[in-house]
Structure 1
Amino acid sequence: MQRKWAILTSCGVLALSAPQLAAAQDVASVNEIADGNEIIVTASKRAEKLQDVPTAITAVSGEKIESLGIRDFRDYASLVPGLSQRDSGAPGTGTIILRGLNSGAQQTSNTSAVYIDETPFSPSGFLSVGALLTPSPELAEVERIEVLKGPQGTLYGASNLGGLVRIITKKPDASRFFGTASAEVSSVSHGETGFLVRGSVNVPIVQDQLALTATGYYRRAGGFADNVTTGTDDVNRSNLYGGRVALRYQPTPDFTFDLSGIYQNIENEGYAFQRLVPGTFQAAFGRYGYASYADLGADIKYRIVNANAEYKLGFGTLTASGSYARYKTQIETDQTNPYIALGRTVLGPVAVPVFGVPIDTLLPADSFARFHASPNMEKWTGEVRFASDRMGAFEFMLGGFYTDEDSIYYTTVFVHDAQGNLRPAPRDALVKATTTSRYKEVAGFGNLTFYLTDNLDITGGLRYAHNKQVAGTGGPGGITYYLPRTPLTFNFSDNSLSYLATLRWRPAPNISAYLRAASGYRPGGPQTNPTPPPGAQTFVRPDTVWNYEAGIKGSVLDGSLSFDLSAFRIDWKDIQLNSLVNGIILQGNAASAVVDGFELQLTARPSDLLTVSLSAGHTNARLKAIDPTASSVTGAQAGDKLPLTPSWTTAVILDHQIPFSNSVSGNVGATLRFQSDMPSNYPAVTAVGQRKIPEITTLDLRASATFNERFTAQVRVDNLFDKLGFTNIGVDATVIRPRTITAGLSAKF
């Protein structure tokens, strides 16, 4: 534990011991707005204009997050070309999908990563089961969200095959005291009232050197789905609460030390489900009605601590970062189908000879099954890197990275009787298992940029990573259909090398074109069957991608029109899938896929008061080949579309400012979102899985007034036409939020 805490404290010691090493040099602040419309981003681990970074990025600023009323992942995912989700129906849950890289419902490890500041929040271990969660921080704390498309393996390491989401938080300001307070009330059609209260304060402790920011919030997301079995209305209400404390120490312009901590709890009392008649889109129990023998939900707890120090030397910037991230979860769902029927099939022939009772006594047909899934993680991470300034024709970055990640995944299938009561031990748990994953990685990375001319440069990058894994299955007291399961431990180690090459041409100060080729990987791991049958893999290799991309971005007409256009192709090889080998389901490298597409973002400012933004994306993600052993389990065939990625997405955002007087200004706006139909699963899985999720079109309206630049009143209507939209389909369909009317007040002081 002392060694782990050293990751955090060493950054502070290093920072405090050498601030005088830095020499004065002006570098663009990450908060700067260039030319009035371009955000400075740090996607390349340098502060650069968004239009100059040679990769596809969508950046959503904190101001835009507030004005649009963005509150959770889907709110901004639907604005970002190429970004989607396996929506599990509750905040904080689900799988992030970028550029279509999603292998289906059996996928449990990440293909897209999440960073919060310098903290890699997504687990990387082969058995980490991190893909069940989508971080959902309070977005009022956010300076901006950067969505990086395509693999970022050389700078960010493992498990971002499709890209990554970087959430950049607001930093303290030592120049002045200020704060904000806000409150909202929302009414959900077909549901109940929700609310939000939030406050934030920025306190200079030492003028212009040391400052503290503290934020706290409580949000109730009103429910609208009804559990027809228990008779509970609006069961999918959620409570999200927590806070953040951040400290910034900047004794000289050349040295900055940041320390921050995030605390968040998410309490979901149910899910945004609607039961459908099998094989149709007809509601089985009416709109937003579903059936579960009990009101089951999900609880998620996030804790993050990050320390970061930066020194501006006379020839570059040295950065040292250390972080600790933890989450604990409890996710419960009604899984009566398939566990009870399958359990009776498995136990039927052995019930009397092994257990001494008939199957109807051991596991009655009218039993209910409660599936309890609990992925948990602790992750310690440290990184040191040096980014040089331009030195003649060259510029480079060198760094080292270390992570130590512990993941524990508890799964239990509890059995309840026909009245919903938990059956007495030892028949209370039909299945019980603990999966552990200890993942350690050490990596070195670097890139070198050579300027052929001031307007033409090439960059090459490499990252070498070595990981060690210790995996455990079964766990103490493990059982499978009431039969004991032996705990097993497996060791594994592997090396990976990632590559990057870019060619960038800037024909004008406001135009940048690029070609990019980059690779990425998701770690493999041990085969967890102690006696794999003949023909099975003894270990599972990493699956890898190569992303080939061409893009152009910039602004014209004196900045009144900005654009970002990219086209890409991704080759995904050795996809990790469940496979059936001699009657045993095992993990293996069993498929390949290809993804083609393009992404477009346009922003027009025809006047100082009017802004119109358009984002559009086309993604064609399909299996290229699949082994018959995996096809028999997944139902997938070569040529099938990868699940839960729409072919087309479009969003149009319009905002018009209204200067009523010198002290009062207004704004009216609208957001139109479109998502084309998409496969819910591979076509041959089941009759349920053969359905395509229909397209979704929604319209949001908003209006606000600001008085003396201090007080703002806002009204929003989300999903104006009360569209019923599906985002995922299994036994139940996951639905989007119905029409929601929100009124809010905020104040600055």
Structure 2
Amino acid sequence: MQYRKLWLATACTGALITAPGAYAQSVDGSSGSEYHGAEIVVTASKREERLRDVPTAITAIGSDAIETLGIRDFRDYGTLTPGLSQRDFGAPGTGTVILRGLNTGPQQTTNTSAFYIDDAPYSSNGFLSVGSLVTPSPDLVDVERIEVLKGPQGTLYGASNLGGLVRVITKKADPSSFSGMAQVEGETLAHGDEGWAARAAVNLPVITDKLAVRISGFYRKTAGFTDNVATGENNVNSSTIKGGRIALRVTPTERLTLDLTGFYQDIDNDNSSGQDNVTGTTRPLFGKYKFSAVDGTGGSQIKYRSVGGTASYETDAGAIVAVANYVKTQSAISSDYTDIYGSYLSLIGIVPPGTQTIGDLGPNMKKFSAELRFVSDRIGAFEFVAGGFYTNEKSRYPFVITARNAAGTPLPTPFDILFRSTSFANYEEYAAFGNLTFYLTDRLDVTGGIRYAKNDQSSRGPAGILFYAPTQPTSTSFSDDATTYLATVRYRPTDNVSLYARAASGYRPGGPQNSTLLPPTAQTVIRADTVWNYEAGVKATALDGALSANLAVYHIDWKDIQLNTLFGGVTLQGNAGSAKVDGFELELQARPSQNFVFGANVGHTNARISKIDPVAAASLGAQSGDKLPLTPSWTVAAFADQKIPFSDKIKGSIGATIRMQSDMPSSYPGYALNPNIKIPSVTTVDLRAGLEMSPVSLQLRVENLFDKLGYTSLATNALYAGQPVPTNATVTRPRAFILSATANF
């Protein structure tokens, strides 16, 4: 079973639209640096800067922290990062990234936060792309750091990052020296089975200081722990994740650097971490970690393929940087809709009792992007980044619901196909951007930024079937433009304190309605929704970096929100309201000695509707003042690690992490088809112990020590009000024991 109810809400909406921190701070106190001391440099502003000097909220997690804390998936670092959450579908590679609470709930079809690997955008921008179903989940075997940028980054990164973006920065080939690593890992779960992983990377200088190749690969079999009571199968939600990357660096001259990369990853999920609950409650229907779904449903396959290149030429005034990337995403998701559609169709006599309804869907994308920019050095009192950007994104979204008897045989035509739609969409964008910083003094500077973007969109869909009724082919086109802005003031009263204020805007592209069932009262063109983020922050260190703190306080105005709305009995998109978000993000760290580190991250998010169209309010059961779904008001993460030197060559370590997520709404209070349920708060504890015997290290981790059952999403999604369908939950992993061995050379 895939998290089928939530898939259904998003899938049907998309089909109708398109149918016919501070984890590791350095000894000198720079927030977000490597876990054991070296200062981190980030490129979030498209120039290399120390994280403590960047006047915006960024949580950066370095490779040392990734390894020490056992970070493997989005969930692992999402729960450690203030302001970051996910609409979770319960399987690697699926779900929707949520930053600072900017999401509209289970029916959201397009992204409000972006995802990058290096300079390659992996998330789609097109209004008709239905890209919110997938969250890239690259294995973190050969990663330099993860950067989470909070708030809109519209001037430098363009569209569809209303809440911010996640960047995974990979390690580059190094022509100066040979190096490598190999790791094996095994895990066993309470209430589940066993899993294992193998990872390796090698850096090969071909011509010293001129040419190098870096090759990495990974294979991971995750342990399953959910049981399908309908088929009698146990531990069905295991996943196989495999892939590799090759990176080439050429430095023909001291001024010119060329980087070429190729990456592929396959994620094969046998099922999802779902649990059926008593309708409208958090009580398990069949027992913990159990659900019921017909045979052959619930799996998903996601494939990523990408190639890219970056050329950087250093001039006397700065760097000319040219970037080009091609990303291909394929997905196939199977879900059981029997308790929703099969039971209803049987009840009204259209199909025989016991009819199964199976959904198959999968957004696919091919995306080419290119950017040319100039990153200046400081020239007198000025420095700037300016450039142009182009992207061409082609999307395909097939969705079919088939009907079959209890033996799995399709019903006779025409009752075998309940719903069928395939849409094709193209999104093309041109943009020009620039950020200019003026230093009033060496300690006081201001930055202004602007980006102008123009996009052209088109879509077409062949004839399909909508609830046994034929639909006609559709074809639409749409053009729009948007301008985003940035203004910051930064003041550094001392070398150890940086104060900043920031105002930034962002947008998510609009697009055309192209359903063949478009009612005459429906909105035919959806405008881009926009945000303004107002933020003030401080980054400070004390005691020679032994203490450090980052604090950001923000207010967001979100206008023209793209909400699903009921028009004439058909669910469609519409610009239906406004929202406000207030919050803060605090990251603290203390390092009283070289062998001990303690830190805590706290996030508070108050995201609520401030205005809503009456028709949308009636459809969604939402009113002004209601919280936006799936964002906890509070998140807290605290960690501590102690190194224990046994000798010059042998060192031990022990550590712990505590994560707390407060309760949050699953939906809107008055939504009849997906009633709101308060998702309970959850607190988990992880322990770890390690032994370093250079070049080999061993680590034992216990995750979710007290075996807490936690929910990340709840959804009922009935076809009609009061339909007796179970509430489906996405659950957290039970207690896990993980043993890893790593060799570095």
Calculate the TM-score normalised by the size of structure 2.
0.92
Instruction: Return the offset for 1:530.
Output: 5.6
Q: Distance in 2 between matches of 1:215 and 1:468?
A: 38
Instruction: Return the offset for 1:445.
Output: 0.2
1:241 corresponds to which residue?
242
Structure 1 SS opposite 2:675: coil
Q: Distance in 1 between matches of 2:682 and 2:36?
A: 36
Greater RCO structure (CA 8 Å; 6+ sep): 2
2:41 corresponds to which residue?
40
1:374 aligns to 2:376 (yes or no): no
Q: Distance in 1 between matches of 2:450 and 2:376?
A: 16
Instruction: Return the offset for 1:499.
Output: 0.4
Q: Distance in 2 between matches of 1:286 and 1:697?
A: 21
Instruction: Return the offset for 1:33.
Output: 6.7
Structure 2 SS opposite 1:127: coil
Give the residue type in structure 1 aligned to 2:266.
N
Structure 1 SS opposite 2:423: strand
- Which of residues 415, 418, 427 is equivalent to 1:427? 415
Instruction: Return the offset for 1:491.
Output: 0.4
Q: Distance in 1 between matches of 2:485 and 2:335?
A: 41
- Which of residues 404, 409, 431 is equivalent to 1:416? 404
> Where do residues 459-474 of structure 1 align in structure 2 (5 Å cutoff)?
459-473=447-461
Structure 2 SS opposite 1:606: strand
1:741 aligns to 2:743 (yes or no): no
Out of 416-425 and 676-685, give the one that drifted further: 416-425
Instruction: Return the offset for 1:39.
Output: 1.1
Contact 1:186/1:740 (<8 A) preserved: yes
> Where do residues 74-85 of structure 1 align in structure 2 (5 Å cutoff)?
74-85=75-86
1:7 corresponds to which residue?
none
Contact 1:116/1:168 (<8 A) preserved: yes
1:596 corresponds to which residue?
582
Give the residue type in structure 1 aligned to 2:584.
F
Structure 1 SS opposite 2:76: helix
Instruction: Return the offset for 1:483.
Output: 1.8
1:509 corresponds to which residue?
495
Contact 1:305/1:325 (<8 A) preserved: yes
Out of 576-585 and 228-237, give the one that drifted further: 576-585
1:210 aligns to 2:211 (yes or no): yes
- Which of residues 702, 705, 718 is equivalent to 1:717? 702
2:633 corresponds to which residue?
647
Contact 1:179/1:201 (<8 A) preserved: yes
Contact 2:369/2:390 (<8 A) preserved: yes
Calculate the TM-score normalised by the size of structure 1.
0.92
Structure 1 SS opposite 2:440: strand
1:130 corresponds to which residue?
131
Q: Deviations over 1:368-420 (max 9, x none)?
A: 11111110000000000001111111111111000000011110011121233
Instruction: Return the offset for 1:344.
Output: 6.1
Identity %, equivalent residues? 54
Contact 2:239/2:269 (<8 A) preserved: yes
Structure 2 SS opposite 1:131: helix
Structure 2 SS opposite 1:102: coil
Q: Distance in 2 between matches of 1:656 and 1:289?
A: 39
1:157 corresponds to which residue?
158
Contact 1:65/1:140 (<8 A) preserved: no
Give the residue type in structure 2 aligned to 1:676.
S
Contact 2:33/2:60 (<8 A) preserved: no
Contact 1:62/1:143 (<8 A) preserved: yes
Q: Distance in 2 between matches of 1:204 and 1:158?
A: 38
Q: Deviations over 1:202-222 (max 9, x none)?
A: 111111111101111110010
Q: Deviations over 1:455-514 (max 9, x none)?
A: 0011110000000000224x24x1112221111010000010000000000111121110
1:544 aligns to 2:530 (yes or no): yes
**Structure 1 residues 583 and 424: alpha-carbon distance in aligned structure 2, compared to 1, 3 A threshold:** closer
2:382 corresponds to which residue?
394
**Structure 1 residues 153 and 141: alpha-carbon distance in aligned structure 2, compared to 1, 3 A threshold:** same
Instruction: Return the offset for 1:704.
Output: 0.8
Contact 1:278/1:687 (<8 A) preserved: no
1:106 corresponds to which residue?
107
Give the residue type in structure 1 aligned to 2:313.
Y
Q: Distance in 2 between matches of 1:81 and 1:610?
A: 23
Instruction: Return the offset for 1:587.
Output: 1.6
Give the residue type in structure 2 aligned to 1:336.
T
Give the residue type in structure 2 aligned to 1:167.
V
Give the residue type in structure 2 aligned to 1:747.
A
1:118 corresponds to which residue?
119
2:319 corresponds to which residue?
317
Instruction: Return the offset for 1:424.
Output: 4.4
Give the residue type in structure 2 aligned to 1:366.
G
Structure 1 SS opposite 2:684: strand
Instruction: Return the offset for 1:681.
Output: 0.8
Instruction: Return the offset for 1:625.
Output: 1.0
> Where do residues 269-284 of structure 1 align in structure 2 (5 Å cutoff)?
269-284=270-285
> Where do residues 548-587 of structure 1 align in structure 2 (5 Å cutoff)?
548-587=534-573
Q: Deviations over 1:513-567 (max 9, x none)?
A: 1000000000000121468544432310000000000000131111001111000
Instruction: Return the offset for 1:588.
Output: 1.0
Q: Distance in 1 between matches of 2:486 and 2:107?
A: 30
Q: Distance in 2 between matches of 1:322 and 1:236?
A: 37
1:196 corresponds to which residue?
197
1:23 corresponds to which residue?
none
Q: Distance in 2 between matches of 1:256 and 1:160?
A: 29
Structure 1 SS opposite 2:576: strand
Q: Distance in 1 between matches of 2:738 and 2:175?
A: 34
Q: Distance in 2 between matches of 1:460 and 1:343?
A: 58
Contact 2:149/2:164 (<8 A) preserved: yes
Give the residue type in structure 1 aligned to 2:742.
S
Instruction: Return the offset for 1:114.
Output: 0.3
Please report the RMSD computed on the Cα atoms of aligned residues, expressed in angstroms. 1.7
- Which of residues 429, 436, 460 is equivalent to 1:448? 436
Structure 2 SS opposite 1:252: coil
> Where do residues 559-708 of structure 1 align in structure 2 (5 Å cutoff)?
559-686=545-672, 689-708=675-694
Structure 2 SS opposite 1:548: strand
1:24 corresponds to which residue?
none
Structure 2 SS opposite 1:317: strand
Instruction: Return the offset for 1:447.
Output: 1.2
Contact 1:278/1:688 (<8 A) preserved: no
> Structure 2 stretches of 5 or more lacking a match?
1-31, 716-726
Contact 1:157/1:463 (<8 A) preserved: yes
> Where do residues 80-95 of structure 1 align in structure 2 (5 Å cutoff)?
80-95=81-96
Contact 1:623/1:638 (<8 A) preserved: yes
Give the residue type in structure 1 aligned to 2:659.
R
Structure 2 SS opposite 1:139: coil
Instruction: Return the offset for 1:690.
Output: 2.5
